[in-house]
Amino acid sequence: MKYLIIISTITLALIFSAYSVNGQEITENKKAAWTQFKAEEGTEWEVRWNKHGEAPRSLFAGKSVRFQGTPEAIARQFLAKHKELFSFENDLKTLKYRETKSRKGTSTVILDQVYKGLPVYGAEYRVHILSDGSINLVTGHYYPNISLSKSTSISEIEASTIAVEHLAEESNALESSNEELVVFVKDEHTFHLSYKFDVHSNNKRIFWNVFVDAKSGEVLKANNLNVGMGGAEPPNLQRKLSPKFNGNQKENANKASLATGLGNVFATHPGLNSNLTSGYLWNLNSPTKLNGTYLKVGYFDDQFKDIGASYYFNYSETDDELDEVMAYHHSENFRRNYISNIDSDVANQMPKTVINVRAGSCSAFYYPGPKKITLGTNGYVDNDNCNKASREDKVIMHEYMHAVTHKLNGSLVNISSDTERALIEGLADYFPGSYTDRPELGDYMFANHDSDYRGRREMDDPDYDVFGDIEYDVNGDFEEVYIVGEFFSSILWDIRSDASNSDDIDEVIFYSIETVNNDPDFLDFRNVMIAKDQAMNSGANWKMIQNRFADKGVGMHAPLDVDITGPSSITSGVNATWTASSSDGQSPLQYEWKKIPFGGGSGTVVGTGSSYTGTNTSDFYIQATITDSRTHEGYLKNYITVTGGGCQPGFPCKPIAPGTEQPESFSLEQNYPNPFNPSTEITYALPEAAEVVLKVYNIMGQEVATLINNNMSAGFHSITFDANTLPSGVYIARMDAVGQSGTTFTKELKMQLIK
């Protein structure tokens, strides 16, 4: 069955170029700024431009030089250094500091865009800083060409009335709050002075952001902020309840466990195991109510009854109170035993969430305004629509995961697009699935519907396997984004399945929620995951992450791993053979060999087989490029030293260091050879005697060698860095010198070890 999916903001071809956006060429100034950026920060960086090519939407896959200072100072230094690339003003006055979030030795600095003192709604940059002061990700939205008057034509009261009347059909008891004058961005290129209102019902179950043009009174947009599982909003039903006990309660609980209750629960749901078992009810504050440190559970309209005795809450499957016990147990179990294992600080700082179990609703929702979850119940007997949401463990966890997402990244609560809503739904599908190791969600709640029903999610068998196959209709029903959410969660599930350690992937995805920018799409989230994997796992999974997204039509595949076997040193005029291979390329493979002069240049194609045999009279690079059957490509370039030969045109000899003459300034020269295996020479110059510290770091900023830590005389010096025990990769040499005159010098250079 094919669906018409309402993703008006999703671009079906999520593949991008550094020099074009939506078919538009990037300006020459931006090309020059990007070239300069890579020259200063490293060629491994990638850029994704915003819709109109005016500023980067994300910079990722690289690692900058290191900066010093507070996280905010580091972020501003980096952005100011590359202000031409971002189209910033000189003093960065359009960026207002919001906050810094620090986790696992990394920091994310969030800077909001302002225009004439007004917030630009949804515009922000998030700068991800590693423990050594370097940066490996910038992501967000920035609009450099805003031109707008701050004068209004209608008052806040008039705009508030318009906002409430616009949603009058949703409820007859609405009110607005939190008025704010903002710059509203439409289609990334049209700007409106707008009033922003939070519009909600009296019980705050209906919750919207509404934007009203401050000049014309037009409603520019209304965002429904509620998220959840299928179905429609329920009627206003209530039940009168009285405690029921099945005779198994103990009147006197052990004092040592007063804060932990017990109650009967389904360990999963009745469709998998219909037997009730005893479940813990942690962190209770009351012996008779399901009211705890992190949760408060009751019936519709916040009826919190006494349903327990001495911390015991044992009911049978025919009792309505069992739904409350299920809601408390599975939410708190998910927080305490899963979220806490990922990050105990997040779990322990979760705000108190209210859960209402109610009748007559085939749905489950999270309401960010009051931080409330509602779980639909249709009575004990199955009907034609659905079973009780409160009897399926993963549905309960799904809604609680929305609360966790809200805690991690409040920007994601202000849902700006159906793409963002789908992404949030996919995340809430993924984590309960990972915790339980069950890829299907809603299989009990919607057991009476086939697997294509929007409330049933199958991460291992989604309705769509390729993003480009998803059709969309901007006039459709927004709830169809659940299908796209299933598609997104299926990518995450594939990544988890391919990882050598699924716990590492859970952490990468979890912390990516906190770091990802406002109104993200799937590529934004992928880029953040790559940056987080670099920070947390030394990039062990980044290619796999990129490839699993690309397999489903989101972005491009990572370059192939290419290896060259053969000598690293040859004798002039004597033939040698090199062989190329790829561990992740799919046959048949195509090969291209190039011989490139040491001094640079594009080189000459010298072969097209899996091996190349040849010679040279001076040092050169041998490069192998492999393309596989999927048109995935990768290359590797090895440095080859030549002995017994002279210099020849196009292949210059190794530069000779100066003799005994006195250098005029401090310098740190590029290592030679580079790339190298396993050793390389680093040359530096001191115009005066100085204290010198020369250290080498890996790409994660971890120190791997101290080459010099001593007083050195003036002159030219060189030292050998032996990386025999280190793995292949990029390394950074950093020199800090303080001359006898007090002059200071600091410089870093990148070196590539290829084994």
Q: Among the listed ranges 115-129, 228-242, 280-294, 314-328, which one has the minimum average pLDDT value?
A: 228-242
Count of CA atoms in the C-beta half-sphere (13 A) of 482:
19
Model confidence band, residue 637 (pLDDT cutoffs 50, 70, 90): confident
Give residue-wise pLDDT tens across range 457-487: 999 999 889 888 876 554 445 557 888 999 9
CA–CA gap between residue 99 and residue 127 (Å, rounded) = 11
Joined together, the tokens standing for residue 628 give 């596989």
Any bridge partners for residue 343, and if so which?
none
Domain range annotation of the chain:
563-643, 667-753
Q: What is the DSSP letter of 655?
A: P
Altogether, the residues listed in the chain come to a count of: 755
Q: Is the pLDDT of residue 4 over 50?
A: no
| pLDDT more than 70, % of the chain | 85
Taking the CA atoms of residue 115, residue 119, residue 120 and residue 122 in that order, the dihedral angle to the nearest 10 degrees is 160
Closest listed residue to residue 258, CA positions, set 207, 328, 310, 188: 310
Which helix or strand (DSSP H or E) is residue 430 part of?
Answer: helix 418-436
Residue 123 has which token pair? 């515009």
Quickly count: other Cβ atoms within 10 Å of residue 153's Cβ.
11
Residue 459 to residue 491: CA distance in whole angstroms: 8
Q: How many CA atoms lie within 13 Å of 491's alpha carbon, on the beta-carbon side?
A: 29
Give CA–CA dist 89/321, Å, rounded.
61
More confident of the two residues 730 and 93: 93
- Give residues with Cβ within 8 angstroms of 601, minimum separation 6: 650
- Centre a 10 Å sphere on the Cβ of residue 662 and count the other Cβ atoms it contains: 12
Neighbours of 755 (CB within 10 A): 15
Distance CA 613, CA 580 (A): 12
Name the band, by pLDDT with cuts 50, 70 and 90, for residue 229: low
Higher-confidence residue: 698 or 115? 115
At 23, the pLDDT band (50, 70, 90 cuts) reads very low
Domain 563-643: what homologous superfamily? Immunoglobulins (2.60.40.10)
Matching fold, domains 563-643 and 667-753:
yes
Q: What is the pLDDT of residues 393-449, one digit of tens each?
A: 999 999 999 999 999 999 887 777 888 999 999 999 999 999 999 999 999 998 888
Q: What is the pLDDT of residue 205?
A: 60
Is the pLDDT at 658 greater than 80? The verdict is no
Lowest mean pLDDT among 86-100, 331-345, 710-724: 710-724
CA distance 102 to 124: 18
pLDDT in tens, 141-157: 999 989 999 999 999 99
* Band (369; pLDDT cuts 50, 70, 90): confident
Strand 95-103 relative to strand 106-115, pairing: antiparallel
State the CB neighbour count (10 A cutoff) for residue 665.
Answer: 9
615, pLDDT greater than 80: yes
Write the CATH number of the domain with boundaries 667-753: 2.60.40.2550
498-549 pLDDT tens trace: 999 999 999 999 999 999 999 999 999 999 999 999 999 999 999 999 999 9
State both tokens at 556. Answer: 């491009």
More confident call, 21 vs 174: 174
Joined tokens for residue 241? 């309840």
Supply the DSSP symbol for 384: S
Whole-model pTM: value is 0.77
User: Are 225 and 208 contacting, i.e. CB atoms less than 8 angstroms apart?
Assistant: yes
Tally of CA atoms within 13 A in the half-sphere of 556 that contains its CB: 14
